[in-house]
Amino acid sequence: MPPMVKITIGVNGKPRTAHVEPRLLLVHFLREQLNLTGTHVGCDTSQCGACTVLIDGRSAKACTVFAVQADGSTVTTIEGLAPEGELHPLQRGFWEEHGLQCGYCTPGMIMSAVNLLVDNPSPSEREIREGISGNLCRCTGYQHIVNAIQHAAQAS
């Protein structure tokens, strides 16, 4: 049996302590041990961005981070983005502007956009497209996603 490492990660405002294998990816820790399935596994190669979360307030692809690397960090997933019963302005924007079709990429898109709007509260269309360039959508053609992010920027 491989050695186990004790980690404590603040996830969506709650400290979570677990013993994990050193090679366990953060995305699998979130999905399989914490049952936070909004963080999607899309490609396993860091190409699609479906697994994007916030680590200490910065977007990161959870398939590129070992859970032990996040020890002591604060992680926010799509489930922790807004208070219960509320929608984050980006979630509202995706709703209002029809920024999703199948929805598979949506959590990662939203989490990347959170980081984008923190860095640039009033981005141009080009800046939005650059900001989400690490996230792939196979359904929408991106225009409604861009509109959703613009909607959120204007609402904030």
Q: In terms of DSSP bridges, do strands 5-11 and 74-76 run parallel, antiparallel, or are they unpaired?
A: parallel
Q: Supply the pLDDT for residue 46.
A: 87
Give mean pLDDT, residues 23-40.
97
Residue 127 pLDDT: 98
E strand or H helix that includes residue 98? none
pLDDT by residue (tens digit) across 69-78? 999 999 999 9
CA distance 66 to 70: 7
pLDDT digit string, tens, across residues 38-65? 999 988 788 999 999 999 999 999 999 9
Domain ranges for the chain: 5-80, 89-155
Q: Which fold has domain 89-155?
A: DNA polymerase; domain 1 (1.10.150)
- Classify domain 5-80 by CATH architecture: Roll (3.10)
Where residue 18 falls among pLDDT bands split at 50, 70, 90? very high
CB neighbourhood size of 1 (10 A): 4
Pairing of strands 52-55, 74-76: antiparallel
Closest CA to 116 of 132, 104, 103: 132
Residue 78 has a pLDDT of 97
The arithmetic mean of pLDDT across residues 16-20, rounded, is 98
> For residue 94, how many other CB atoms are within 10 A of its CB?
25
Give residue 140's pLDDT band: very low, low, confident or very high (50, 70, 90): confident
Question: Across residues 4-8, what is the average pLDDT?
Answer: 97
Q: Identify the band that residue 88 occupies on the pLDDT scale cut at 50, 70 and 90.
A: very high
What predicted TM-score, i.e. pTM, was given to this entire model? Answer: 0.95
pLDDT at 14: 97
